[in-house]
Structure 1
Amino acid sequence: MAESIRDNESSIDSLTTCNAAESSLLSYAPTENSTSCEVLCESTADSSDNVYKDLDWSKYPGYAKAPHTKRQCTSWTWQHGYRIQHIKTETLYWLCKPCIVKKAHKAALYASTGGSHSQIRHLKDKHNLDSSGPIQKKRKLNFSDATSMNATIEQALINQRISNFNPDQFKTALVRWMAYANIAYRQVELPQFHDLLQLAYADIDAVGCLPTADTMVRWTKRDFEIYKAPVIRLLAEVEGNIHFTFDLWTSSNLLCLNGVYAHYLNAFGEKKKILLSVPSIDDSHTGENIAQGVADIITEFHLEKRVGYFVLDNATNNDKAVEKLGTIFGFNPTKHRIRCVVHIVNLVAMQIMYGKDLKAFETENAGVRHLREDLELWRRKGALGKLRNIIMWITDRHADGNRLRGFKALQIEHQNNLLDDDERRCPPSQLKRPNDTRWNSHYYAFETACQNRAAIDAYVEKEERSFTTRLEQTLQKNKRRDPDKQLKLSTKPAIVEDKLSVDDWITITRYMQILKPLVLVTKKLEGCPQEGRNGCMWEVLPCYEFLLAHFERLAELYKHDPDEDLRLNIQLGWQKLDEYYKKLDNTEVYVAAVALHPKYRLAKIKQMWSDREADGWPAAAERQLQDLWRDYKDVQLPEEPTEQQPDDDILDEILNPPVPPSTEDLFGPMEHLYKNPAQQQASPPDEMDEFQGAVDASFSRVRDPVNFWILNRSRWPRLSRMALEIYGIPPTEADNERLYSRCGDMVTKKRNRLSANIIGAAQCLRQWDEDGIIEWK
């Protein structure tokens, strides 16, 4: 028995020694040159038990030294822990060695199967250890250090915040946003808006940038004065004369505004416009008062010596205004007064639609009339007048909304009944109210009405049935009443009076076909020219010829038509167009614009007017062209920069020596050449004659006359100056119409205290910024 016990003790000691040797491997921490934190947990020759010497096993009953293994323990935490194992479950545990060494009340014990995150956190939090060893603690700052550091940080933040905020840029950005979005200036005084700004920059009030309505007005005027200077410099750099358009418009707050635009071609042949001002006409709207305001603006921008042509509508006071301007600036008012072509086309269209008594109708319409009288007046205009009344009835803003809602319901019902899937998916077009002052507005109103014919007929029939029902009910009640107690019969609604028949719709369709070319001409001439066409002066004369030929064809087509009003209206439209066509003789630019187009030249005008040779039109056109050419023939041109020849130019040394060479040195045996110098060249040929008589096949392929004259400046310098000035004249004043649409968006019922100065400043800045004339930032 004793021997058996000794054998067992020997075995235990041997096992203990082996485990001690195995555990001793854990004390080998990785060195600086180690590539990993791998610790080999296997048996070694070292059987030292020093690894577990500080471990009191009595505190860990049920645990023993972990057996050796050849599996690699890769976590660095094993350098700071004992490997012990639960005897029954054989689970491997990590026991914190620093806790044992420090004789902690309870050492940390973690199962190795849970990973090493808990061990790492424990070593860091409790023992200030990481994979590199003890963690270097940061020095605690005393009060003086902390105060100094905080002050430095705060100072840097304040400096950065202040340097990032530019008060002038903020003011300009705010003015720019309000000009584009048409924000009322009073809106900036809202406390909520001030709170928003102060959240973005706490010191915004201290730097004087917390806005009010008055400061917004001052900032807008300040920007206008700042950016007006570069606009003046830009206009000063333009070669040649500047052309102008202006037109009067009354705002909703009863200001009479006059928008003045300057027009020109830049050095690259691009059409440019600049809004100069939008002054108010405070006195009566006479030509003299209008002219004085325009003259002040022209002088303000230093353009008084470069006044070109004026493109205006047909108002009589515009004729007087140009006469006054001609007196002020010294030009022929008759020749420099251009009539807006689109206004003329619009007058022709109104003449065709509403007939012979249009002038009397317009005079009557200018006064105050009862609504029913107005509707009756339009009704007498026939099918178009009745359709106009129907549109105005349905879209009446002062009536209850049931009219428009009921019509839209019928539109949707009709849309759902369409057989074509694509047409059914397209939303129905909305009715448009005609406006007598807006170009082609009647045409577009009738066009959308034709697209909604089914819905319009259904709506009128619905109103008619409702009226008939009310009338019958009233009649039935009156049968049971005494004669002196009769109910008043309902008045037939105006829309029922204007009910359209099938023949009416056919007539409307025919008018639409007649008016379509006028709309196409309007769209062509009111655009911004691209590649020398679609809004260029040379297109005016061909457009007139096109429309006259169109009416002559219509007169022949409808010569025997039973609709007498249609025949008469076509004739009246032709007469109105011919009336203004003859007025083109008052100025030479129309003829010159075509004659300077290399594809057409004067020969094209003679061809167009070959049937009017007996009236002297071709000869008159040639005289007009020569008269205008005389104004440019001797014009002083800016000197072209000369190219510097290289210093080693041998010919220059021979031809321009410091000391004239002898004849023998220069010519040798050809001395007779020196004795017969070259003859002086004759006076240069007339540029106009040379251009008109040039034989060049490439001319017939020219589509862009503006680019042609830019490329041929050196060949015909004065003629190109004349051509580019003429092509810089806009054929219409469409820009003024667009301006007043914007002004209408700006001057609303809630902004009826805006002055003309602030309206003009905001609109000028916006237009300059949009067209890239200034960098409004």
Structure 2
Amino acid sequence: MTSDDASSTISSLATSCTNDSPSTNPAIDGGRGPQREGWENFPWERFPGYTINELIKRTGWTWTHGYDIFHAITERRRWVCRHCVQQKRRPLVDFTDNGTENHARHLVKLLIDEFNRHKGIVTELLHGAPGLIYLSFDGWTSRNNLSLLGLNIHFLSREGKVRQFLIRLPEVEGRYTGVNLAEEVAKIIAEWGIGGRIGYFITDNADNNDTCLDALAKEYGFNKRWRRLRCCAHIINLIIRQLLFGHDPDAFKDNANAPQELLAEYQLWRRCGPLGKLHNIVYWLSRSPQMTKKLLDYQRVYCQQPLNVITDNMTRWNSSNTIIKRALNDNAVKSDVAALPDGNYLRVSVNLAWSKLDDYYKLLDDSPVYVAAIMLHPAYGWD
């Protein structure tokens, strides 16, 4: 749920070790050093005899959300909730060092309480909205391999302001099939009581979203072709990927007079071209700490500021541009590349991209909302 209060409640707080000698009251030195950031307002009067713990290395994610203090005499270590201190909550929550389970339970409770507090505010805004409620959703996998579905709502408030909120981020059981997605979306729609006010859906172009919207259309009685809007960023990504890599065997029909060796060269480039090789190199290096260290050590022989590789992401076309820039971060290499003649395969790549763009351009006829958007745009209008 988007809110300045919510985002500031549970934030990531950087902590690191320091070699500075601990002081009896760390607030006196203004919280200098990485270990002492954010200690200025710590209520030391409630923890007599305690000081900053600089003897034991912190482990576990919960320590980034808590103050790590240590009693000089009893050698007792305590975790004090950083968010409770910053928000001056009463009672102040702290735990002795007997594991991080209590820390985690407390932090989860903070998140749930904050969500429920803002849920009431958003519900009130929704009920006061004069028009329809628009939904966008997308499935993704977290770094710890959780299958999640993020669902946002978009609407015009009573004051005429466009508002949007992330209202749910549930874990999806099983695969990302259209049926599973439809069940999760329907649960969220029912939870918020907006089934009778559904407007348009914004999704990417995956086949499972087609199946999902088919099921939702039957459930809520709307015309799927009219109500579906396709994610423009996802379309651009598909077009650029088509240009960079290509996979359409019919793409050569516009270049049928090209020599056979050109087609063979393009097929080879498509399977194992420069960008494909670069992707494999980056992937190989990023997966191996040993190879990353060798890469950095080798660079240190020739420069003072070695650079690590940047990995690309198949859902973001500009990530390919990023890894190319990093790989060509050498003036001599750039000069050599600039001197190379343009390959004929670029014509085929451009044709592939135009073909993909045309596929989605034709889909604009499915929904009248695109025509309405042009008509209502001040720069275009009906003419």
1:277 aligns with 2:198: no
Mapped partners of 2:6, 2:203: distance in 1: 35
- Give 2:295's aligned amino acid: R
**Identity of paired residues, percent?**
34
Give the residue type in structure 2 aligned to 1:573: A
SS of the equivalent of 2:196 reads coil
Distance change >3 Å, CA 332–CA 194, structure 1 → 2 = same
Query: In 1, distance between residues paired with 2:296 and 2:12?
Result: 32
Which residue pairs with 1:506 in the alignment? 340
CA contact (8 A) 1:429 1:451 kept: no
What is the aligned counterpart of 2:363 among 569, 583, 586? Answer: 583
Alpha-carbon distance between aligned partners in 2 of 1:292 and 1:411, rounded to the nearest angstrom? 55
Shift of 1:452: 2.9
The answer to whether the Cα contact below 8 Å between 1:312 and 1:318 also exists between their aligned partners in 2 is yes
Q: Residue by residue, what CA displacement relative to the aligned partner does 1:679-707 show, whole Å, maximum 9, x if unpaired? A: xxxxxxxxxxxxxxxxxxxxxxxxxxxxx
Q: Distance in 1 between matches of 2:379 and 2:7?
A: 49
Contact 2:242 2:352 in 1 (8 A): yes
The CA distance in 2 between the partners of 1:300 and 1:580, in whole Å, is 34
Is 1:401 aligned to residue 293 of structure 2?
yes
Q: Which has the higher contact order (CA 8 A, sep 6+)?
A: 1
Unmatched runs of 5 consecutive residues or more in structure 2? 15-59, 71-76, 96-101, 251-267
Contact 1:259 1:275 (C-alpha < 8 Å) held by counterparts = yes
Of 323, 329, 341 in structure 1, the residue corresponding to residue 220 of structure 2 is 329
Q: 1:429 to 1:335 in 2, by over 3 A?
A: farther
State the shift of 1:410 in Å. Answer: 3.9
Alpha-carbon distance in 2 for matches of 1:282, 1:232: 27
**Which amino acid in the other structure matches residue 404 of structure 1?**
L
Superposed CA deviations along residues 241-287 of structure 1, whole A, max 9, x for unmatched, are: 11111111112332210011011244565443201010111133221
Deviation at 1:502, TM superposition (A): 3.9
Aligned to 2:203: 312
- Cα shift at 1:294: 0.9
Note if contact 1:351-1:358 (Cα within 8 Å) is conserved in structure 2: no
Where do residues 685-696 of structure 1 align in structure 2 (5 Å cutoff)? none
Report the Cα distance in structure 2 between the residues aligned to 1:565 and 1:330, rounded to whole angstroms.
Answer: 48
C-alpha change, 1:350 and 1:381, in structure 2 (3 Å) is farther
Secondary structure of the structure 1 residue equivalent to 2:150: strand
Secondary structure of 1:305's partner?
Answer: helix
TM-score, normalised via structure 2 length: 0.66
Q: 3-state SS of the aligned residue for 2:314?
A: coil
Shift of 1:588: 1.2
Question: What is the CA–CA distance in structure 1 between the aligned matches of 2:369 and 2:300, rounded to whole Å?
Answer: 50
CA apart distance, 1:208: 7.4
Matched, 1:184 2:56: no
CA drift of 1:575 comes to: 0.5
CA distance in 2, matches of 1:380, 1:317: 27
Distance 1:196 1:345, change over 3 A: closer
Q: SS of 1:582's equivalent? A: helix
In structure 2, what residue type is equivalent to 1:222? Answer: D
What is the TM-score normalised by the length of structure 1?
0.34
Alignment of 1:194 onto 2:84: no
Q: How does 1:604-753 map to 2 (within 5 A)?
A: none
Pair 1:447-2:338 in alignment: no
Q: 1:150-165 maps to which residues of 2 (within 5 A)?
A: none
Asked if structure 1 preserves the Cα contact closer than 8 Å seen for 2:80 and 2:94, the reply is: no
Matched, 1:209 2:93: yes
Q: CA contact under 8 A between 1:258 and 1:281: conserved in structure 2?
A: yes
Distance 1:389 1:506, change over 3 A: farther
Task: Note the 1:590-605 alignment, pairs <5 A.
Answer: 590-603=370-383
> Structure 2 CA distance, aligned partners of 1:174 and 1:323?
35
Q: Is the 8 A contact 2:139 2:149 kept in 1?
A: yes
Report 1:314-393 matches (<5 A): 314-356=205-247, 380-392=271-283
| Contact 1:342/1:439 (8 A) holds in 2 | no
Work out the CA distance in 2 between the residues paired with 1:185 and 1:277: 23
In the other structure, the counterpart of 1:295 is: 186
**Is contact 2:150–2:168 with CA below 8 Å preserved after alignment?**
yes
Higher strand share: 2
Structure with the higher fraction of residues in helix conformation: 1
Equivalent AA in structure 2 for residue 315 of structure 1:
A
Matches within 5 A, 1:123-134: none
Distance, in Å, in 1 between the alignment partners of 2:7 and 2:227 is 38
Given the alignment, which residue of 308, 312, 334 partners 1:434? 312
CA distance in 1, matches of 2:330, 2:317: 22
| 1:180-226 CA distance string (max 9 Å, x none) | 4498347659664737679x99xx9x957335232332332233223
What is the distance in 1 between the residues matched to 2:133 and 2:185? 14
The structural deviation recorded for 1:586 is 1.0
Aligned to 1:477: none
Unaligned runs of 5+ in 1: 1-172, 360-376, 413-426, 458-499, 511-562, 604-777
CA contact (8 A) 1:395 1:404 kept: no
Deviation sequence 1:397-440 (CA, Å, 0-9, x none):
4315121332365455xxxxxxxxxxxxxx89865322212342
| Residue type of the alignment partner of 1:209 | V
Distance 1:567 1:411, change over 3 A: farther
Q: Could you tell me how far apart the structure 2 residues matched to 1:331 and 1:174 are? A: 34
Residue 219 of structure 1 pairs with residue 110 of structure 2:
yes
Shift of 1:234: 1.2
Distance 1:235 1:217 in 2: 26
| Contact 1:411 1:452 survives alignment (8 Å) | no
Amino acid at match of 2:192: F
User: Over alpha carbons, which structure has the higher Rg?
Assistant: 1
Per the TM alignment, residue 580 of structure 1 is displaced from its structure 2 partner at its CA by 0.9
Classify the secondary structure of the residue corresponding to 1:311.
Answer: strand
- Indicate conservation of the 8 Å contact 1:245/1:311, yes or no: yes
Closer, same or farther in 2 for the Cα pair 1:284/1:222, shift >3 Å? same
CA positional deviation for 1:232: 0.5
User: Displacement, 1:395?
Assistant: 5.3
**Count of matched residue pairs:** 299
Which amino acid counterpart does residue 376 of structure 2 have in structure 1? L
- Per-residue CA deviations over 1:307-365 (Å, capped at 9, x if unaligned) read 11111111111111111111222211111111111111111111111134699xxxxxx
Q: Which of residues 555, 558, 564 is equivalent to 2:344?
A: 564
1:395–1:403: 8 Å Cα contact kept in structure 2? no
**Which stretch shows the higher mean deviation, 292-301 or 398-407?**
398-407
For 2:350 and 2:294, the matched residues in 1 are separated by 39
Counterpart Cα distance in 1 of 2:7 and 2:78: 15
Report the secondary structure of 1:448's partner residue: helix
